[in-house]
A and B are shown apart, each in its own frame.
Chain A
Amino acid sequence: MPGVALLVFREVLEAALIISIVCAATRGVDRRGLFVTVGIGLGIVGALLVAMGAGLIARIAHGSGQEIFDACVLLAAVVMIGWHVVWMSKHGRELAQKMGAIGSAVKAGSSSLTLLLVVVALAVLREGSEIVLFLYGMAVGGIGATGLIGGTALGVGGGALLGFALYFGLLRVPMKHFFNVTNWMLVLLAAGLASTAARFLIQGNLLPSWGTQLWNTSWLLSNGSVAGKTLGILIGYDASPAGMQIVFYVTTLLLLGVSMQRLNSAKSAYPSRDHSLAPNGTSETLR
């Protein structure tokens, strides 16, 4: 049971951290809970399908199917996050101002919610498919139902707990900076996912590595430790990255960071442009 709990915990943790950041980033948006729940549900269905098709995925593209699949899932999440972050830079301030107002004022976020639903679904799909394959193996190997169910419950509970901790920690950020902080967290998350995608493509010999071990900080914090994994998701930490991973990381960081900043500064230079975007005229008085 401890073995089951530990593996499930590590996989759930990665998805839970991503879900927490997404939840924080969509704070105040109408029907957010529904979208996140649907995202998790779709992710679980996807995880089952991917686990069942694992043999097929492994055989396509001369045996590099898994790497291509993983990289595509990761890069799709990066694109969705990028889209959301840019969208939020346009509308985030209005959202922040309307947080105090109740009801219809916070509908504005829903168009971007679909993007984040996909991000949640992809995160659950990726980590979930490993859990399914692992549990299947354990079940075949003859571990009892108690060990299987108990271990899974412990692992899911533990991972979810850390996710909640991150979420409620983020809620303590003052409203004035809140969406700025969550947007930057999304940008760092996306940069890390892009770097992981590059790692898969290198592993499948589909991209050159441009230097396999640029540095090695395993002695300080290894990729295998829980702290290393957590930082891996949150900021894209990798103890010994390849050059190509850095290229993917920095490119994502610059693309999203710069477009976010440009949108923000354009907005403060021409504050009147915001007016037409506000769905509810009364919120203007809160300014």
Chain B
Amino acid sequence: MKRLLIIATAVVLALAGMAFADNLPEYQLVLKDHVYQPSELKVPAGTKFKITVHNEDATPEEFESTDFNREKIVPPNSSITVYVGPLNAGNYGFFGDFHQNTAKGRLIVE
């Protein structure tokens, strides 16, 4: 049990260290008044990329997409990054889980 814990800790630390800088294309989204700006992002098909979401609201949001399988809490007045793809061509919706009526957008992959 003890050994298991030590191994687990080592793995977690290794993972934490692995989060390194990369040269992947980056796309920006801004959340203001629970609306995504822009609401559409055009990204190339077959390429891995990252999306950075800046939350300018005073409340937390969850950036989520059930189409391209991502979910991440965006604390108030801060930014998060998620890695996405490579994706096949098509339209993929994303939304703010906590404000689904207003926070809506889509990725146009072509």
A contact residues vs B (CB 8 Å cutoff): 3, 7, 54-55, 58-64, 66-68, 72, 79, 130, 133-134, 136-138, 140-141, 199, 201-206, 212-213, 216, 218, 222-224, 228, 238-242
Contact = CB atoms under 8 A, between A and B. Distances in A.
A63 B97 contact: no
Interface residues of B, number: 40
A199 B70 CA distance: 8
Contacts of A203: 70-72, 82-84
A173 B98 CA distance: 39
A223 B85 contact: no
Nearest to A6: B100
Interface string B85-110: 11110000000011111000000000
B73 A58 contact: yes
Interface string B21-39: 0100000000000000000
27 contacts: A3-B101, A61-B16, A64-B16, A66-B72, A66-B73, A68-B15, A68-B16, A130-B97, A133-B62, A133-B73, A133-B98, A136-B60, A138-B98, A141-B59, A199-B69, A203-B71, A203-B72, A203-B84, A204-B82, A204-B83, A205-B22, A206-B15, A212-B86, A216-B88, A218-B67, A223-B69, A242-B69
Given A137-B61, A141-B59, A205-B83, A62 B100 contact: no
Contacts of A63: 19, 80-81
B98 A137 contact: yes
A140 B75 contact: no
B83 to A, nearest CB: 4
A137 to B, nearest CB: 3
Contacts of B78: 55, 58-59
Contacts of A141: 59
Contact of A201 (B15, B22, B87): B15
Nearest to B67: A218
Given A55-B75, A218-B67, A223-B69, A204 B19 contact: yes
A66 B83 contact: no
Contacts of A199: 69
Contacts of A240: 68-69
Given A58-B75, A212-B86, A238 B59 contact: no
B10 interface: no
B16 A238 contact: no
Given A7-B98, A66-B80, A203-B71, 7 more contacts: A58-B73, A58-B78, A61-B16, A63-B81, A133-B62, A134-B98, A223-B69
Contacts of B75: 54-55, 58
Contacts of A66: 72-73, 80
A222 B66 contact: yes
A129 to B, nearest CB: 8
Contacts of A216: 88
B87 A212 contact: yes
B16 A140 contact: no
A287 to B, nearest CB: 33
B63 to A, nearest CB: 10
A239 B24 CA distance: 26
B59 to A, nearest CB: 3
B15 to A, nearest CB: 5
B19 A238 contact: no
Interface in B34-59: 50, 58-59
A212 B85 contact: yes
A244 B44 CA distance: 23
B18 interface: yes
Contact of A54 (B60, B67, B83, B84): B60
